[in-house]
Amino acid sequence: MNKRVLAALGTVILGVAVIAGVGSYVANAKNDSRVLAATPAGTMDTPQGMLPHATLDISVYPDSMAGMHGKDGGAHPGYVSYGPVTNFEVPAHSVITMTVTNYDGGESLNNDYFARVRGTLDGSALLNGERMTHISPDAVGHTFTIHGLAVEQDEFFVSVPMKAVAEEDMPEEGYTSKPNVTVFTFVTGGPGEYIWNCEYPCGDGTIAKFGAAMSTMGYMSGHFTVKG
């Protein structure tokens, strides 16, 4: 075979291999089928009446060594990560209380919008037991932001900032003994498949710090399913 044809063929094969690689990578990312279902917790009186109540309890860490991606941290031990999983399932037309324990430090948001608590009951949350509606946009560790616009399902938007652990309380090894605990409560509408993600730029330097952990499913993003 002619050398140029061979070289061209090589390029095509390489291209196909890269595309196949990307494809299987994306498929694997989507295939993180682990789901944390909310725990039923009786009923709660809300402005929308007495509703079934359920709770979700999660954490967020400065790396992936807490076991959520397998022992030794999985594919990206250094990535910041929520855990124990990032796919959640909650009941429809219910009141959900989420507790997020943040072990990570942080800095400034790209957009101050996400420093405010949005979409919760009376627009507030509890930070280490104290009621708050927003935190300083330059002391944010991560956010938990459920995006509600989707076709043929109820609109649903909840966004809560997780306060960064102070720099002096971040140990060189292991996790801080002074995590910031945020508790917030919101009401779900009808059934739907939603996506949540973190809106704090906690990825690596690429894509305005929205690369790495921020652009890999299962770390700073996941599914949020409201089940009928």
Site for Cu ion, rule CB under 5 A: 142, 198, 200, 202, 220
At closest approach, how far in Å is the CB of 212 from Cu ion? Answer: 11
**Structure-token match 């009621």, residue found:** 131
Q: Which is nearer to Cu ion, 94 or 176 (CB)?
A: 176
Using a 10 angstrom Cβ sphere, with 0-12 exposed, 13-18 middle and 19 or more buried, the burial of residue 52 is middle
* Cα four-point dihedral sign 64, 25, 202, 125: negative
Rounded CA separation 64/143 (Å): 17
Q: Which is nearer to Cu ion, 80 or 90 (CB)?
A: 80
Q: Which is nearer to Cu ion, 44 or 220 (CB)?
A: 220
Q: Which residue is nearest to Cu ion (CB)?
A: 198
At closest approach, how far in Å is the CB of 5 from Cu ion? Answer: 48
At closest approach, how far in Å is the CB of 47 from Cu ion? Answer: 31
Q: Which is nearer to Cu ion, 9 or 75 (CB)?
A: 75
Q: Which is nearer to Cu ion, 154 or 204 (CB)?
A: 204
Per-residue three-class SS string for 121-132: HHHCEEECCEEE
Residue 19's CB is within 10 A of a number of other CB atoms, namely: 10
* β-pair type (158-163, 180-187): unpaired
At closest approach, how far in Å is the CB of 162 from Cu ion? Answer: 8
At closest approach, how far in Å is the CB of 176 from Cu ion? Answer: 16
